[in-house]
Amino acid sequence: MLLLVDIGNSAVKWIISETDRYQPLRKGILNHDQIEELRKFKDIPYKVVASVKPSLNPKLAEVLKNPIFVKNEDCLRFISSEYETTHTLGVDRLLNAIGGLNYADTFCVVSFGTATVVDLVVEKTFLGGAIFLGMEKHLKCLNIHAEQLPMEKPQIPQRPIGKNTKECLLSGVFYSQLFAVKGFVQTYKELYGVEKVILTGGSLDFFISQFESFVFDKELLFKGLFKVFYEVYF
């Protein structure tokens, strides 16, 4: 068996898969302060981690008995890159791109999470993209910096025009995400002829009904992570 772990900025996701093919058997999600619960998997033969939260890596290494932490250079065996600062590039973005190669050689990946990230891959080359606040952090930021705005949980608004402060917040946050993603995708289509668009991330469910012609794959990163493990470490 194989344990795949994705340490994101807001949560820790894990999947137990077959070792010789990507076949999820069990999966779960934890808060950062719950990673001790992964200790029950310490004796699984292979444990592979993608982390964008370096502060948690030492604890996870102890909990899982020195797992494999996938690095950017591992990912760049599978996909070229024109990113100018590869050393600052989150490994999650590269793994999503590698997962996306299952669908096409040229595509956009949109990941809805702590941040919303729109990335572009052209002919198996990672070009870069755009990063902006995800829904929950957008709402939190407004609450912190605008004294009269309450903290709300992300929701799909009933209508674009809010009739009270809560509705205005929900509408603003939701539709700013929607319009930004549609705008970036349209721009990339015009500039690079992109036809395939893949959506992923923890907040994906909010947007599925808005992008019916796109591909939805919540396990995109794990598919990329499995490929790197299988080809580099297995």
pLDDT digits (tens, 9 = 90+) for 169-188: 999 999 999 999 999 999 99
Strand partners, 106: none
Q: Take residue 20 and report the two structure tokens written for it.
A: 């010789």
pLDDT exceeds cutoff 90 at 189:
yes
Q: Looking at the structure, give the CATH architecture of the domain made up of residues 1-69.
A: 2-Layer Sandwich (3.30)
Structure confidence at residue 142 (pLDDT): 96
Amino acid code (one letter) for 24: P
- CATH 3.30.420.40 in the chain is located at 1-69, 93-234
Burial class (CB in 10 A: 0-12, 13-18, 19+), 120: buried
Residue 32 · residue 11 · CB < 8 Å: yes
- The CATH code for residues 93-234 is 3.30.420.40
Structure confidence at residue 212 (pLDDT): 84
Q: Read off the pLDDT of each residue in 177-201 and give the average, rounded to a whole number.
A: 97
Q: Take residue 128 and report the two structure tokens written for it.
A: 């870069």
